């Protein structure tokens, strides 16, 4: 079959993952993301689970697999663009074969379905989030339109983030035997908005370039200009900050949560200001700073859990 990889598959995929999806780092970020969201859900419902449960483990693996599925899909979707503009990447350079990517994608999809057997009561959420990723893979069957419009591409693709968060919430509902339709939707949606805003800003920040770096690859800084694009990303991340304040007071979180979030926000804004004042290829690397802020907010929630746990012991 065309999707069965040739000899050397594991060596090629090890090379690919090291370069495009470092497993340890991505598993760690998935854990911070899933566990922090899960913990804040527990605070909303005033429920206490074990420090680590099977459902939380599934949430971590689920997010890790979904992000890897999206990464593998992008390799196939963007093959022509990568060949032209990023020829040094593993697939266009020939260091990994397309059959390797397709086979790995199939394995990940099957594995994602299998690990979610605990979610059988709300398995439709699993199908929903996986189905949306497949629609993204097909560019929602309007590839000729979406490939040419970065904004429409963002509008259609970025909703995968809240869908993944609703998927985690589904695991939480099943673990605590709650009724999904009778949820505390205002608080849950505010929490989803807080996490979504961080991911949306990351998506914008990773496509900001200094004027001298711009080329045929379409970026948000090409469309709006660097200062305006930075202002958009910063505005979305300020929403994250304000929602952090809201949950800090509403859920009576410990000061360590708010202090950590504020420090992360301050360092992020410093990076933005530096780029605006000195726009160059060095200061334009804003994707890591945006990811740093996302992980800082997630870490803040995890540190709050640690502080609460130690306070009870």
- Which residue has 């599925």 as its token pair? 69
Q: Are 305 and 37 in contact (CB under 8 A)?
A: no
CB neighbourhood size of 140 (10 A): 15
Instruction: Kindly give, in sequence order, each residue whose CB lies less than 8 Å from that of residue 260, ignoring residues fewer than 6 positions away.
Output: 296, 297, 299, 300, 303
Give pLDDT, residue 114. 95
Q: Given CA atoms 32, 186, 155, 143 in this order, what sign does their dihedral have? A: positive
Give pLDDT, residue 143. 87
Give pLDDT, residue 165. 98
Closest CA to 169 of 34, 51, 30: 34
Give pLDDT, residue 120. 86
Quick one: angle between helices 255-277 and 287-312, nearest 10?
A: 170
Quick one: angle between helices 54-77 and 123-137, nearest 10?
A: 20
Class of residue 119 by CB neighbours under 10 A (exposed 0-12, middle 13-18, buried 19+): buried
CB neighbourhood size of 181 (10 A): 7
Give pLDDT, residue 81. 83
CA-to-CA distance for 61 and 55, rounded, in angstroms? Answer: 10
Q: Are 103 and 3 in contact (CB under 8 A)?
A: yes
Predicted model pTM = 0.93
CA-to-CA distance for 249 and 98, rounded, in angstroms? Answer: 50
Closest CA to 225 of 276, 182, 264: 276
Domains of the chain by start residue, with CATH: 2-6+9-183 (1.10.357), 210-313 (no CATH)
Q: What is the pLDDT along the chain (313 residues), one digit of tens a residue?
A: 567 777 899 999 999 999 999 999 999 999 999 999 999 999 999 987 666 789 999 999 999 999 999 999 999 988 888 888 788 999 999 899 999 999 999 999 999 999 998 888 899 999 999 999 999 998 888 888 988 899 999 999 999 999 999 999 999 999 999 999 999 999 999 999 999 999 999 999 999 999 999 988 899 999 999 999 999 999 999 999 999 999 999 999 999 999 999 999 999 999 999 999 999 999 999 999 999 999 999 999 999 999 988 877 6
Give pLDDT, residue 118. 80
Give pLDDT, residue 209. 95
């Amino acid at each position: 079959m065309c999707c069965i990889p040739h000899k050397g598959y594991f060596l090629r995929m090890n090379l690919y993952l090291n370069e495009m999806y470092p497993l340890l780092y991505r598993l760690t970020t998935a854990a911070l993301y899933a566990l922090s969201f899960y913990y804040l859900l527990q605070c909303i419902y005033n429920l206490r689970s074990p420090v680590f449960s099977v459902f939380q483990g599934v949430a971590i693996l689920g997010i890790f697999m979904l992000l890897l599925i999206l990464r593998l899909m992008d390799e196939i979707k963007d093959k022509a663009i990568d060949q032209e503009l990023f020829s040094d990447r593993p697939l266009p350079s020939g260091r990994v074969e397309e059959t390797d990517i397709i086979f790995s994608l199939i394995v990940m999809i099957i594995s994602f379905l299998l690990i979610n057997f605990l979610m059988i009561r709300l398995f439709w959420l699993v199908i929903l989030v996986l189905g949306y990723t497949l629609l993204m893979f097909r560019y929602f069957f309007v590839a000729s339109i979406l490939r040419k419009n970065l904004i429409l591409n963002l509008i259609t693709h970025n909703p995968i983030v809240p869908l993944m968060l609703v998927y985690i919430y589904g695991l939480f509902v099943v673990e605590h035997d709650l009724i999904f339709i009778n949820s505390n939707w205002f608080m849950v949606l505010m929490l989803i908005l807080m996490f979504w805003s961080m991911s949306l800003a990351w998506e914008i920040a990773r496509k900001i370039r200094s004027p001298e770096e711009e080329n045929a690859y379409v970026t948000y800084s090409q469309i709006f200009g660097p200062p305006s694009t930075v202002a958009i990303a910063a505005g979305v991340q300020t929403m994250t900050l304000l929602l952090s304040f809201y949950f800090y007071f509403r859920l009576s979180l410990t000061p360590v949560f708010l202090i950590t979030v504020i420090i992360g926000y301050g360092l992020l804004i410093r990076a933005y200001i530096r780029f605006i004042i000195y726009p160059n290829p060095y200061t334009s690397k804003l994707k890591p700073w945006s990811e740093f802020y996302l992980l800082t907010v997630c870490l803040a929630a995890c540190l709050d859990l640690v502080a609460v746990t130690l306070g009870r012991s």
